[in-house]
């Protein structure tokens, strides 16, 4: 049995080695076979055999097989198992029993294995046949592979080695070309530094940044080269340097904006992806520029009084350039917004940020500017400046406030607050000094007319030069409602940023206008020919204004005023200039304007009505009562009381008439000429105040001021024309010999029966004698002159006209005797030289002296014609 087993195993191994049959462990195979279906089949067969009466031997074999331990069928079985089974017992009988048992089991297993082999011999033979066929296929396959390899070897020798050589050479060539290209690129990279410096020096920042970014990208591609690794660091340093130069160029934009430069800067920052950072940096530069510029300007001028105006002008000019630059930046971004799609979220965020930054920068920039100016004003001795210098400071600040309003809509509260307190203190002090000056003028006034042009009004004065358009606009548009504009008259926005371009400033123009003062042209001269010829049609042109003052549409109207009147009007112009430039002191200005008129009114009334007796039935009684009430009010509020010193604050001493003015001399008609000049100058001053009325109403903003202004015009300005009656009555009462006239009237027989065709004698005495004396003396005073200007001629006509009108009112006589005689003579002064000869020949009613005086005055500058006409007069006298 053992020999059979050994032979079987040798057979299997030999087959495995020769026919590549898989190795089969007999024990495992038997075990698995017995354990599986074969075992079940054997059992079934055994049962069948047992049932059929098969021998007990077969059943015995199966019993032995069932009793075989499973461990004998495991791969890790070792003979030591048998020793372990003895458990250390070495009894011979036990060993022999185990030996017999194992031999019996081996014999059964060997027998059963042989039986199985015999049963499956045919199947095994078929499998061996298949294996032989497979072996044959493998041999054929091996032969095919050997032939293929032989053919491939031939092809390799004939074609592949040559082709691969070509491919290898091409690869080497391509590698060399790429390497050469890399070397050229590296060489170009190394040479870009000079181009970068050139671009930066030329201000071509966009191309410089593009080149830098391109170089960085190329350097990143060739970073495996050691030289490029070092060059990348150098490129980064160059980029940092380029950004620094960008920042320097950006800071220069704050001083002087240049569209091309700023466009290149924005393009460069856009390439860098730093537009928001650039905008933040720009605002930092603007803030720095404002502070540094203010320090440099102030340090240069040292803030002294004589240099304050120049320092302020220079500071405003510098700030103007900064504001213009910023406005141009805003304008550039408005016109050059980067167009981005709705999906470009980051680009839209950048645009929104820049827009908000620029908008908020307007107020911040202006706040920094006005804070610098406010500090300068607050630390300067503005109250010690001269008035003209003080006005210049106000004008500069006013213009700066207008610029701030146009720039960002700011009210510039800081600037106005810094100057308000100093202005109020300065104005009160200045007004008191002007009242004292006015008192000196009044006390030294000779009350002689100042010859001015017939078209003269307050707007012709230099002090009203800057107020003309404002006053005229308000006067022509009385229903104009006040706006919130900082200007004092309805006008269009100043538009400084549209009218002034870069490198020009509204403060430059202001400096030029103030450096050369425009001379006034208000006085009458020889070139002003006034034709006073009138006829009946002139009566239609005449009308009475609302104050009862006779006015005329004719250009030949003569104006009667004094030097003191001009002084008052000049003060009014200066006061209104302050009010225009600083609206916060408007109430003080209006109050002081009223005091100027009140003081002049008080002086005229006290000077020329001092000798008026109080008679209740007088025609001037009611006017005198009104005047007295107003004078009492003026005296209480304005005139200094020496008895009560505590109430004399902001008051002035009452004026005293000049000793040269004699109001008691009958030969000079008790100062009639001076009285006429004084009253008519007061009326002219009232007319000018009336002309300013709408403008003053426009200035006021409080109801109290409006009410006070209305009372001033209704109670004081309108009173000027009423002063005529008491002043002229003082002269009339003293000229007429009332006792002699009354005595003549007492001798008249009032009981006549028939109507008399001849008037009484006292009428001739009253009108011919007494008024004749007046006219003669007036003629002597105003007409008997060696020289006479056009103003003097106009004054003659005005005096005569006013006297006649008052005589008509006083006497109720519509036609004054000899009126045409005097009027024709006065009008002859205005005749041209070609007509004067005919006029002399056609008016023999005038005396030789009168005609000669006319020729001498009219033709004073034309000696040849004068001599001709004088010879004609002498010839007429000889006839």
Domain ranges of the chain: 2-119, 132-239, 240-418, 831-879
Three-state SS sequence of 753-787: CCCCCCCCHHHHHHHHHHHHHHHHHHHHHHCCCCC
What distance in Å separates the CA atoms of residue 749 and residue 760, rounded to the nearest whole number?
9
pLDDT, residue 554, reads 43
| Range in 162-176, 313-327, 685-699 the model is least confident about | 162-176
Q: What is the pLDDT of residues 246-264, one digit of tens each?
A: 888 888 888 888 888 888 8
**Structure tokens that stand for 188 in this block:** 């170009």
pLDDT, residue 814, reads 59
Tell me which of 421 and 714 has the higher pLDDT. 714
pLDDT, residue 625, reads 80
What distance in Å separates the CA atoms of residue 595 and residue 431, rounded to the nearest whole number?
9
What average pLDDT score do residues 847-856 get? 82
pLDDT, residue 18, reads 45
Q: Which of 205, 296, 315, 207 is nearest to 258 (CA)?
A: 205
In this predicted structure, the answer to whether residue 35 has a pLDDT above a threshold of 50 is: no
| Range in 74-78, 324-328, 551-555 the model is least confident about | 551-555
For residue 571, name the pLDDT band (cuts at 50, 70, 90): very high
Q: What percent of the chain lies above the pLDDT cut of 90?
A: 15
pLDDT, residue 264, reads 85
pLDDT, residue 75, reads 80
In this predicted structure, the answer to whether residue 714 has a pLDDT above a threshold of 80 is: yes
Task: Encode 15-41: b = buried (16+ Cβ within 10 Å), e = exposed.
Answer: beeeeebeeeeeeeebbebbeeeebee
- Three-class DSSP category at 288: helix
**Structure tokens that stand for 719 in this block:** 């009173």
For residue 365, name the pLDDT band (cuts at 50, 70, 90): very high
pLDDT, residue 23, reads 42
Tell me which of 485 and 520 has the higher pLDDT. 520
Judge if pTM exceeds 0.75.
Answer: no
What distance in Å separates the CA atoms of residue 396 and residue 401, rounded to the nearest whole number?
9
For residue 521, name the pLDDT band (cuts at 50, 70, 90): low
For residue 516, name the pLDDT band (cuts at 50, 70, 90): very low
In this predicted structure, the answer to whether residue 315 has a pLDDT above a threshold of 80 is: yes
What distance in Å separates the CA atoms of residue 277 and residue 288, rounded to the nearest whole number?
17
Count other C-beta atoms under 10 Å from residue 410's C-beta.
19
Q: What is the pLDDT of residues 279-292, one digit of tens each?
A: 999 999 999 999 99
Mean pLDDT of the chain: 75
Contact 496, 398 (CB under 8 A): no
Contact 588, 424 (CB under 8 A): yes
pLDDT, residue 549, reads 37
In this predicted structure, the answer to whether residue 108 has a pLDDT above a threshold of 60 is: yes
| 152-161, 193-202, 598-607 — most confident range | 598-607
Termini Cα distance of the chain: 208
For residue 505, name the pLDDT band (cuts at 50, 70, 90): confident
DSSP 8-state class, residue 639: B
For residue 482, name the pLDDT band (cuts at 50, 70, 90): very low
pLDDT, residue 655, reads 92
Count other C-beta atoms under 10 Å from residue 91's C-beta.
9
pLDDT, residue 62, reads 79
Q: Kindly state the helix (H) or strand (E) to which residue 543 belongs, with its residue range.
A: strand 542-544
Q: What is the pLDDT of residues 680-691, one digit of tens each?
A: 999 999 999 999
What average pLDDT score do residues 305-326 get? 86
What distance in Å separates the CA atoms of residue 554 and residue 541, rounded to the nearest whole number?
7
pLDDT, residue 592, reads 93
What average pLDDT score do residues 532-544 get? 37
What distance in Å separates the CA atoms of residue 373 and residue 316, rounded to the nearest whole number?
8
* Packing angle, helices 724-735 and 621-637, rounded to 10: 120
What distance in Å separates the CA atoms of residue 788 and residue 798, rounded to the nearest whole number?
15
| Range in 182-191, 404-413, 794-803 the model is least confident about | 794-803
For residue 524, name the pLDDT band (cuts at 50, 70, 90): low
For residue 496, name the pLDDT band (cuts at 50, 70, 90): confident
What average pLDDT score do residues 175-179 get? 79
Which residues lie across from 639 on neighbouring strands? 652
Q: What is the pLDDT of residues 423-438, one digit of tens each?
A: 888 888 899 999 999 9
pLDDT, residue 78, reads 81
Q: What is the pLDDT of residues 807-843, one digit of tens each?
A: 666 555 556 666 778 778 877 877 777 788 888 888 8
What average pLDDT score do residues 453-466 get? 87
In this predicted structure, the answer to whether residue 183 has a pLDDT above a threshold of 90 is: no
What average pLDDT score do residues 623-650 get? 80
Q: What percent of the chain lies above the pLDDT cut of 70?
A: 69
């Amino acid at each position: 049995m053992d020999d059979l087993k050994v032979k079987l195993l040798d057979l299997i191994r030999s087959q495995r080695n020769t026919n590549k049959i898989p190795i089969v462990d007999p024990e495992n195979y038997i075990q698995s076979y017995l354990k599986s279906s074969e075992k079940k089949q054997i059992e079934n067969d055994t049962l069948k055999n047992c049932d059929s009466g098969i021998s007990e031997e077969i059943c015995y074999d199966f019993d032995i097989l069932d009793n075989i331990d499973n461990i004998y069928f495991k791969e890790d079985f070792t003979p030591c198992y048998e020793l372990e089974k003895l458990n250390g017992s070495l009894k011979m009988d036990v060993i022999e029993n185990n030996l017999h048992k194992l031999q019996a089991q081996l014999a059964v297993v060997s027998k059963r294995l042989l039986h199985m082999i015999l049963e499956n011999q045919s199947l095994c033979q078929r499998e061996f046949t298949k294996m032989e066929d497979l072996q044959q296929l493998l041999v054929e396959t091996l032969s095919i592979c050997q032939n293929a390899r032989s053919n491939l070897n031939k092809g390799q020798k004939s074609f592949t080695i040559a082709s691969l050589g070509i491919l290898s050479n091409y690869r080497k060539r391509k590698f060399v070309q790429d390497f050469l290209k890399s070397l050229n690129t590296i060489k170009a990279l190394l040479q870009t530094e000079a181009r970068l410096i050139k671009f930066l020096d030329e201000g071509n920042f966009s191309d410089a940044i593009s080149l830098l970014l391109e170089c960085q990208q190329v350097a990143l591609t060739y970073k495996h080269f050691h030289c490029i690794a070092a060059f990348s660091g150098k490129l980064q340093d160059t980029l940092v340097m380029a950004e620094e130069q960008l920042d320097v160029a950006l800071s220069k934009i704050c001083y002087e904006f240049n569209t091309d430069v700023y466009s290149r800067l924005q393009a460069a920052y856009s390439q860098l992806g730093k537009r928001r950072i650039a905008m933040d940096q720009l605002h930092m530069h603007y803030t720095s520029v404002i502070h540094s510029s203010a320090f440099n300007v102030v340090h240069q001028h040292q803030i002294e009084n004589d240099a304050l105006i120049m320092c302020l002008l220079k500071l405003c000019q510098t700030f103007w350039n900064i504001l213009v630059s910023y406005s141009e930046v805003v304008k550039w971004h408005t016109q050059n917004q980067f167009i981005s799609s709705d999906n470009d979220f980051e680009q839209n965020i950048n645009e929104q940020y820049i827009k908000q930054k620029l908008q908020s920068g307007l107020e911040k920039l202006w706040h920094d500017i006005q804070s610098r100016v406010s500090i300068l004003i607050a630390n300067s001795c503005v109250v010690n400046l001269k008035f003209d210098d003080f006005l210049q400071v106000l004008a500069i600040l006013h213009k700066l406030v207008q610029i701030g309003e146009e720039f960002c809509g700011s009210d510039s509260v800081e600037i106005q607050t810094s100057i308000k307190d100093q202005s109020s203190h300065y104005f009160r002090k200045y007004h008191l000094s002007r009242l004292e000056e006015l008192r000196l003028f009044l006390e030294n006034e000779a009350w002689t007319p100042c010859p001015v042009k017939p078209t003269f009004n307050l707007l012709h004065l230099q002090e009203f030069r800057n107020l003309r358009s404002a006053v005229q606009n308000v006067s022509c548009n009385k229903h104009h409602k006040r706006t919130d504009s900082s200007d004092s008259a309805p006008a269009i926005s100043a538009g400084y940023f549209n009218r002034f371009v870069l490198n020009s400033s509204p403060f430059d123009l202001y400096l030029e206008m103030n450096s050369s003062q425009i001379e006034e042209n208000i006085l009458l001269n020889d070139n002003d020919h006034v034709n006073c010829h009138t006829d009946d049609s002139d009566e239609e042109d005449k009308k009475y204004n609302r104050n009862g003052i006779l006015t005329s549409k004719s250009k030949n109207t003569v104006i009667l005023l004094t030097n003191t009147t001009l002084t008052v009007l000049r003060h009014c112009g200066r006061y209104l200039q302050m009010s225009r430039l600083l609206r916060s002191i408007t109430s003080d200005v209006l109050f002081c304007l009223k005091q100027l008129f009140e003081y002049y009114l008080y002086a005229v009334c006290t000077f020329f009505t001092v000798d008026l007796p109080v008679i209740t039935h007088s025609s001037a009684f009611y006017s005198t009562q009104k005047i007295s009430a107003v004078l009492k009010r003026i005296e209480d509020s304005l005139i200094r009381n020496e008895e009560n010193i505590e109430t004399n604050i902001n008051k002035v001493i009452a004026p005293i008439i000049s000793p040269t003015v004699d109001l008691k001399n009958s030969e000079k008609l008790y100062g009639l000429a001076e009285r006429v000049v004084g009253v008519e100058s007061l009326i002219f001053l009232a007319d000018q105040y009336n002309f300013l009325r709408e403008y003053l109403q426009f200035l006021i903003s409080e109801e109290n001021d409006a009410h006070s202004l209305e009372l001033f015009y209704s109670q004081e300005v309108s009173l000027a024309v009423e002063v005529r009656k008491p002043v002229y009555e003082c002269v009339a009462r003293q000229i007429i010999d009332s006792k002699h006239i009354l005595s003549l009237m007492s001798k008249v027989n009032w009981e006549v029966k028939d109507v008399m065709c001849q008037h009484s004698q006292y009428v001739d005495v009253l009108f011919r004698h007494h008024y004749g004396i007046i006219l003669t003396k007036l003629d002597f005073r105003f007409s008997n002159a060696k020289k006479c200007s056009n103003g003097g001629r106009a004054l003659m006509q005005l005096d005569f006209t006013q006297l006649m009108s008052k005589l008509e009112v006083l006497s109720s006589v519509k036609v004054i005797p000899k009126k045409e005689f005097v009027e024709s003579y006065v009008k002859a002064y205005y005749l041209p030289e070609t007509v004067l000869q005919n006029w002399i020949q056609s008016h023999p009613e005038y005396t030789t002296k009168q005609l000669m005086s006319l020729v001498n005055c009219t033709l004073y500058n034309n000696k040849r014609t004068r001599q001709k006409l004088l010879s004609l007069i002498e010839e007429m006298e000889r006839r």
